[in-house]
Structure 1
Amino acid sequence: MLYIGLMSGTSLDGVDAVLSRFAADGSMQTLAHRHQPFPDTLRSELLALNSPVGDELHRAALAANGVARSYAALVGELLGQSGQRAADISALGAHGQTVRHRPGEFDGCGYTSQLLNGALLAELSGIGVVCDFRSRDLAAGGQGAPLVPAFHQALFGRRDADVAVLNIGGISNISLLHGDGRVGGFDCGPGNCLMDLWIDRHRGLAYDAAGAWAAQGQVLPALLAAMLAEPYFHQAPPRSTGRDLFNARWLDVLLAQHAPDAAAVDVQATLLELTAQCCASSLLQYGGGAPAELLVCGGGALNTRLMAGLQALLPGRAVLATDARGLPAMQVEAAAFAWLAHRFMQRLPGNLASVTGARGARVLGALYPA
């Protein structure tokens, strides 16, 4: 009952791999974790493929091969660290790299695209690969995202209290775990993606460590108000989003209109405040009384300035990294895909219709056998 979860999110910071053991009752124990950045050339290509580019089919196919090779290399490292063999692993749950997410659009179904050559990953790793988790939920009329609330409920849910779990990767999403068993969840909006884009453009850094650069700037009220006027923030759940909306083009249009001469550091401070406000308002508006505890995972949990901003917007509530509840913040999403792979292999549903808007519970994923 050993499973590996592989996750590379919209932040494009690389791949996380988690090795988990599942007991007969479905409970999970995390045994090992590894992280590996994408090679620079692959990261640049994946970022480019988030927008229309020339020769997309060819480039996307080769990028999917590159993602599979990166995943396989990290699986090898994880097995070496843990002392396990490929034959010991029941399956890999592999998310792939999202480059488009357009649920419900165009023809009533839309599509979602996570680049990954699952067959190549199975060949390279010698382990069965479960992937393409989102498509079945879309086919059933859902958003295909977020998928993690069901896992959050299994791991962090309590019968005596409401809890919220906020994942801040490239995009932020929230899970609302009610003490009576009800679960809600949706994408809040941008997480780290705009902050990462901006600091890369102006300082050549992949991310703003601990929010230190943002802390040196001042929030620009007019720019922030224009950003928060984005219709997505006022759309009722179920809802999901990605770089299709929150990208350089979206930001540059607003900058040209509302802050053409702004200092770069002040824009960074404003982007951090945007993330904090869209996350906090999501909890306050749809949290059913706003749970007393907010658990934060993903790279945003390491941004102390952002965590402080969330705490300031949510007075009287505990804002904690998931480390405080037994699973380090940088391992949660990868562990979720180990859990989803386990659900698939047991032919159990992985989605929650209350979250995605699908017509019902569905077994998610497709299998490439070892």
Structure 2
Amino acid sequence: MTPVDPHSPLFLGLMSGTSADGIDAALVQFPAGGGCRFVHGHTHDWDPATRALLIALGQGAEPPSMDALGELDARVGIAFAAAANQLLDESGVDRSHVRAIGSHGQTIRHRPHATPAFTWQIGDANRIAELTGITTVADFRRRDVAAGGHGAPLMPAFHLAMLGSADEDRAVLNLGGIANLSLIAHDGGIRGFDTGPANALLDAWCQRHLGQPYDADGAFAASGRVDAVLLAKLQADPWFALPPPKSTGREQFHLHWVEAHFDGAAPTPADVQATLLELTAASVADALLAQLPQVRRLLVCGGGVRNPQLLHRLQARLPGVMIASSADHGLDPDYMEAMGFAWLARETLAGRPGNLPSVSGACGPRILGAIHPA
């Protein structure tokens, strides 16, 4: 744990993404001179039954009942509060020194192209405020959607504030369940969008065939060969050709989607894993070179940063780009998004917009989130 600066307020961020592999909690400070000071992090495991239901809902399954959905919303809020409380217990920080919690919630539906468009994150923030005793800001995405945007990705504003450089064009890649890019031009221009699947498909295929929650070090993928025919079919999905702004999730990219592209006999499980890894690398590289061709540095965060096989394939497709972990620039790659939602909570309380219309497609900047006082 990093010692706390007594002159800078503390903020706590909570994030559970598309993979639903745990609730990341990050305690941070934002010094007056700029930057983000990481104090402590904790990842809280989901109850297996709750996680299974969240993944199913994210892939389009219907909830068992309205009562079940209401109970799930409450349970997710309680789990988020438990993650925050455990982080504070581990850190030894007095909770009265925490200005606010920023909670992403858990996405169960994301329909930016519906009429009307909507996105839905559950995890009752009233429960978080009640169980932690800390003001909680939540429901960040829906205001942007109401303003005509996708409500995603939201991290580019944080990336710009923390990682922008006047000396070079650079990009930030989050390899979570879904991969997304923040493109930061040296002149301060910023764009961002999802590029397609990442850990959500890799983890799900590994779980099915190896009984393991993820492909440690990319070993499963490395044991197979890319099926060029299958890769071409997956890449031909019209979603990849959509121009930014764009966002996606499990409702678009799931194992049934993969299996629908098998032609007759399925490839070996290892070959499918290798092909899914190559799909992630190819979709990221293609999007990056198309949208920011002068990029020279790619900073990677999210769970995928610990997959050396995936990073190897990215480097092979981006030979002129220096690829490094966000840790090299002072931001822990495991807690980047949790830190980002702590920052968004700070922006909301300060009355500052948290979205970027150039990223989401919203008709203008908006203050994001609802405030739940302690």
Pairwise TM-score range, normalised by the shorter structure: over 0.9
Partner Cα distance (1:136, 1:368) in 2: 16
Do the aligned partners of 2:57 and 2:63 also contact (CA within 8 Å) in 1? Answer: no
- The answer to whether residue 359 in structure 2 is matched with residue 355 in structure 1 is yes
Alignment of 1:319-358 (within 5 A): 319-358=323-362
1:202 partner SS = helix
Structure 2 counterpart of 1:260, which letter? A
What TM-score, normalized by structure 1, do the two folds share?
Answer: 0.96
Structure 2 counterpart of 1:316, which letter? G
User: Aligned residue for 1:212?
Assistant: 219
User: Aligned residue for 2:4?
Assistant: none
- The answer to whether residue 203 in structure 2 is matched with residue 196 in structure 1 is yes
- The answer to whether residue 74 in structure 2 is matched with residue 70 in structure 1 is no
User: Aligned residue for 1:166?
Assistant: 173
What TM-score, normalized by structure 2, do the two folds share?
Answer: 0.95
Describe the superposition over 1:43-99 as per-residue Cα deviations: whole angstroms up to 9, x where unpaired. Answer: 111112222325343222222222212211121121122221222111100000111
Per mean C-alpha deviation after superposition, the further-off stretch among 47-56 and 328-337 is 47-56
Alignment of 1:237-256 (within 5 A): 237-255=244-262
Structure 2 counterpart of 1:167, which letter? N
Q: List runs of 5+ in structure 2 lacking aligned partners.
A: 1-8
Pick from 295, 300, 304 the counterpart of residue 299 of structure 2.
Answer: 295
Identical residues among aligned pairs (%): 45
4+ runs of 1 displaced by more than 4 Å? Answer: none
Partner Cα distance (2:343, 2:266) in 1: 48
Do the aligned partners of 1:49 and 1:56 also contact (CA within 8 Å) in 2? Answer: no
Pick from 264, 267, 284 the counterpart of residue 262 of structure 1.
Answer: 267
User: Aligned residue for 1:5?
Assistant: 13
Structure 2 counterpart of 1:91, which letter? A
User: Aligned residue for 1:318?
Assistant: 322
Structure 2 counterpart of 1:59, which letter? A
1:23 Cα offset (Å): 2.9
1:3 Cα offset (Å): 0.5
1:28 Cα offset (Å): 2.5
- The answer to whether residue 49 in structure 2 is matched with residue 41 in structure 1 is yes
CA RMSD of aligned residues (A): 1.2
Alignment of 1:87-166 (within 5 A): 87-107=96-116, 110-166=117-173
Describe the superposition over 1:199-256 as per-residue Cα deviations: whole angstroms up to 9, x where unpaired. Answer: 111111111011011000000000000000011110000111111100122112112x
User: Aligned residue for 1:307?
Assistant: 311
- The answer to whether residue 315 in structure 2 is matched with residue 283 in structure 1 is no
Alignment of 1:42-61 (within 5 A): 42-50=50-58, 51-61=60-70
Structure 2 counterpart of 1:88, which letter? H
Partner Cα distance (1:312, 1:283) in 2: 14
Partner Cα distance (1:63, 1:206) in 2: 22
Q: List runs of 5+ in structure 1 lacking aligned partners.
A: none
Partner Cα distance (1:353, 1:54) in 2: 33
1:259 Cα offset (Å): 5.7
Structure 2 counterpart of 1:48, which letter? A
1:133 Cα offset (Å): 0.3
Per mean C-alpha deviation after superposition, the further-off stretch among 265-274 and 70-79 is 70-79
- Aligned positions, number: 365
Distance 1:56 1:300, change over 3 A: farther
Per mean C-alpha deviation after superposition, the further-off stretch among 346-355 and 61-70 is 61-70
Partner Cα distance (2:71, 2:114) in 1: 26
1:367 partner SS = strand
Partner Cα distance (2:320, 2:34) in 1: 34
Describe the superposition over 1:111-165 as per-residue Cα deviations: whole angstroms up to 9, x where unpaired. Answer: 1011111111111111111000000000000010000000000111001111100
2:110 partner SS = strand
Structure 2 counterpart of 1:319, which letter? I
User: Aligned residue for 1:364?
Assistant: 368
1:26 Cα offset (Å): 5.2
Do the aligned partners of 1:104 and 1:141 also contact (CA within 8 Å) in 2? Answer: no
Do the aligned partners of 1:157 and 1:179 also contact (CA within 8 Å) in 2? Answer: yes
Partner Cα distance (1:58, 1:5) in 2: 29
Do the aligned partners of 1:130 and 1:365 also contact (CA within 8 Å) in 2? Answer: yes
- The answer to whether residue 27 in structure 2 is matched with residue 19 in structure 1 is yes
Per mean C-alpha deviation after superposition, the further-off stretch among 245-254 and 235-244 is 245-254
Pick from 212, 229, 233 the counterpart of residue 236 of structure 2.
Answer: 229
2:261 partner SS = helix
Partner Cα distance (1:290, 1:9) in 2: 30
Do the aligned partners of 2:36 and 2:331 also contact (CA within 8 Å) in 1? Answer: no
Do the aligned partners of 2:354 and 2:366 also contact (CA within 8 Å) in 1? Answer: yes
